[in-house]
Structure 1
Amino acid sequence: MSSLTKEVEKEFLPLLHIYKDGTVERLMGTPYVPPSPQDPETRVSLKDITISQDPSISAYFIHTKKKFINDPSKDKFLVLPLNLPILVYFHGGGFCFESAFSSDHHRFFNSLVGQGQVVAVSVEYRQAPEHSLPIAYEDCWAALQWVTSHVINDTNAVNKEPWLMNHGDFSRDFFGGDSTAGGNIVHNIAMRAGVESLHGGVKLVGAFLTHPYFWGSKPIRVGTLRIQMHPVVLIIQRSIRLVWLEHLAWLDFDDEMRDRGICYYEELIKSKWEGEAELFQVEGEEHAFHILHFETQNAKTLIKGLASFLLKK
């Protein structure tokens, strides 16, 4: 039996093992949850979709349903006849674990879509160490381009999703993400969309980052460092064409990663960017609590706040 034991080449605890045969064992993350036609709790419909086969990019596609307004006594839910805002979402996990299809992100995303009344795509991008950066950024940009390609109502096009063509409102395109990976991807997409065109001239109208983290060589505390020299801040200051019209950031007092997020928000406000920005902070919660501890009142409040952000445009 010992001859069958794989030998570890590198350890990145507590995240993963890399074996000498090239395989990777992820030590964190939650189980895969297959989609179902309708979530009984949130009453949203969901399925897996393929965005691209080469490279391999998939997504979790979900849309909302709404109760009869004229006759609330009927226990029926109908597809909304009107166009809905579009949300493209990028999950967290340090670029190396978690998934759009994981149980934790599944329940968070279902709840957000149900309350936010949107058509949504949660992108399953390729991850490190098998696929090093910037592959994740490229996958997410390709996914966003795929979504906006639906503004051209071509039913014969490959991999087109009818729900996006028939019910997506491309004048209300949002994007968002959580944690280190999702927050960084949102920033990367925003900068790129400011200088590169999306299909059909689609413009992104809003973005949110929940518990983002921008890496640095040294830990910082707000007010103790000249944050003007932070590389992310320099990018913001040099960009006049930041893409989103409105920006929402949500941080926690007890999140050890929060300080760079506050720096990001403060320098965004000071920059030449002309959009609106809001910052929310929650006391007594840890990083990504709205995903890891979904049932808490603070998690529900956060999700409700994000849904309101999507609804108010």
Structure 2
Amino acid sequence: MASPTKDVLTDLTPFIKVYTDGTVERIFSFPDVPPSPEDPTTGVSSKDTTISPTLSARLYLPKLTDPTQKLPILVYYHGGGFCVDSAFSLLTHRYMNFLSAESGALVVSVQYRLAPEHPLPAAYEDSWEALKWVCSHVLDQTHLEKDEWITSHADFNRLFIGGDSAGGNITHNIAMRAGSESLPGNLKVLGAIISNPFFWGSHPIGNEPREDIEQSAAYRLWFLAYPSAPGGIDSPLINPLADGAPSLSGLGCSKIIVCLSEKDVLTARGLVYAEEVKKSGWKGQVEVVEIEGEDHCFQLFDPQTEKAKYLISRLASFISH
């Protein structure tokens, strides 16, 4: 006997559907894959760790030149509109292997809770907690269980945060928080990788839709992820350029790289964001990379194209210099 059809509450095909009975169907999904003791392509080792009952991460350790080697550390936030994908997915895992290998960085890829089951600000809180957990490894005494890779190999003078799409949005917001709240050990974030950031707003920029903006995928994804967002689509969390948003001069890092793709509808807003950071009085360095002929987060879907390799090499240079 066929099961009765369920009523759709929110249809955000090709990303996600939410049904009136509360079930969620993630259409955009890649299979989760296990960590690997040594990735055959890159030589990077990976493992999973639990930070708290609701928070976990996958760690990536590149091949070491000596057993006491200290490495830059990157806390990474995956994309997916706050609603889909995973730190453990094939897409994220493969990209992290390439990025860790090329940059020589110890990567902590954060498995934050997803909306709509866990509406924002859950992902922001998880992302901050993960960064605090990483930083807590510098403390002599802590109630948190420490990870041997971080204790042995992290150079906390080279602490980076980064992410793509929703993860780029999270990175901006974590950098803002790091500018006003202290981290364990009073550690400072050196750099932030803000890639194809998911920013939006009520006043269209560039080639964003001019009509029926409430029907745009970006608008609807934001309200699915954060139905009670103060300020709605002009919340500073999604629109850092909104009237009344905190000054971008408060970013708590020393340098930023903004990575954009020519065909991405989010790119115009990303360019304006970078310009506003420069004009804000912030004392850090801003670098912008725009990849011609490519669309949103292209490098995740095939990290071995020439343009993806170029972007990864730019990120590696940002981390290592």
Structures share fold, TM-score greater than 0.5: yes
Name 2:217's counterpart in structure 1. Answer: none
What TM-score do you get using the length of structure 2 for normalisation?
A: 0.85
Q: Are 1:146 and 2:133 an aligned pair?
A: yes
Deviation at 1:29?
Answer: 2.0
Q: Are 1:190 and 2:175 an aligned pair?
A: yes
Query: C-alpha offsets along residues 189-228 of structure 1, whole Å, 9 cap, x if unaligned?
Result: 0110111010000000001111112111243128xxxxxx
Q: Are 1:309 and 2:308 an aligned pair?
A: no
Q: Secondary structure at the match of 1:128?
A: coil
| Aligned ranges 1:226-241 → 2 under 5 Å | 231-233=239-241, 238-241=247-250
Deviation at 1:121?
Answer: 0.2
| Unpaired segments ≥5 residues, structure 1 | 68-78, 223-229
Which among 253, 265, 276 is matched to residue 262 of structure 2?
Answer: 253
Counterparts of 2:70 and 2:268, CA distance in 1: 38
> Which letter maps to 2:191?
G
Counterparts of 1:235 and 1:159, CA distance in 2: 40
Contact 2:249/2:277, CA 8 A, preserved across alignment: no
Contact 1:116/1:307, CA 8 A, preserved across alignment: yes
> Which letter maps to 1:23?
T
> Which letter maps to 2:183?
L
Structure-2 change in CA distance of 1:89 and 1:170 (3 Å): same
| Aligned ranges 1:293-304 → 2 under 5 Å | 293-304=302-313
Please say which of residues 196-205 and 210-219 is displaced more in the overlay.
210-219
Which among 122, 132, 147 is matched to residue 135 of structure 1?
Answer: 122
The number of residues matched between the two structures is 290
Which among 184, 199, 208 is matched to residue 184 of structure 2?
Answer: 199
Q: Secondary structure at the match of 1:185?
A: helix
Name 1:159's counterpart in structure 2. Answer: 145
Computing the radius of gyration from Cα coordinates, the structure with the larger value is: 1
| Unpaired segments ≥5 residues, structure 2 | 208-235
Counterparts of 1:157 and 1:37, CA distance in 2: 28
| Aligned ranges 1:52-71 → 2 under 5 Å | 52-53=52-53, 56-66=54-64
Counterparts of 1:236 and 1:207, CA distance in 2: 20
Q: Secondary structure at the match of 2:123?
A: helix
Indicate the percent of aligned positions where both proteins have the same amino acid: 47
Which among 72, 82, 87 is matched to residue 69 of structure 2?
Answer: 82
Name 2:291's counterpart in structure 1. Answer: 282
Q: Secondary structure at the match of 2:88?
A: coil
Counterparts of 2:249 and 2:19, CA distance in 1: 46
Deviation at 1:9?
Answer: 3.5
Contact 2:58/2:108, CA 8 A, preserved across alignment: yes
Q: Secondary structure at the match of 1:232?
A: coil
Query: C-alpha offsets along residues 176-197 of structure 1, whole Å, 9 cap, x if unaligned?
Result: 0001x11110111011011101
> Which letter maps to 1:45?
S
Q: Are 1:104 and 2:112 an aligned pair?
A: no
Deviation at 1:49?
Answer: 0.7
Structure-2 change in CA distance of 1:158 and 1:213 (3 Å): closer
> Which letter maps to 1:28?
F
Deviation at 1:23?
Answer: 1.9
Counterparts of 2:244 and 2:174, CA distance in 1: 13
Structure-2 change in CA distance of 1:168 and 1:236 (3 Å): farther
Q: Secondary structure at the match of 1:250?
A: strand
Query: C-alpha offsets along residues 43-63 of structure 1, whole Å, 9 cap, x if unaligned?
Result: 11101110111xx01111111
Query: C-alpha offsets along residues 100-146 of structure 1, whole Å, 9 cap, x if unaligned?
Result: 11111111110000111111100010011101111100000000000
Name 2:223's counterpart in structure 1. Answer: none
Q: Are 1:170 and 2:117 an aligned pair?
A: no
> Which letter maps to 1:178?
D
Deviation at 1:81?
Answer: 1.9
Q: Secondary structure at the match of 1:32?
A: coil
Q: Secondary structure at the match of 2:253?
A: coil
Name 1:225's counterpart in structure 2. Answer: none
Name 1:244's counterpart in structure 2. Answer: 253
Q: Secondary structure at the match of 1:25?
A: strand
> Which letter maps to 1:9?
V
| Aligned ranges 1:256-275 → 2 under 5 Å | 256-275=265-284
Deviation at 1:171?
Answer: 1.1
CA RMSD of aligned residues (A): 2.0
Query: C-alpha offsets along residues 150-190 of structure 1, whole Å, 9 cap, x if unaligned?
Result: 01144x844310111111111110010001x1111011101
Name 1:126's counterpart in structure 2. Answer: 113
Q: Secondary structure at the match of 1:109?
A: helix
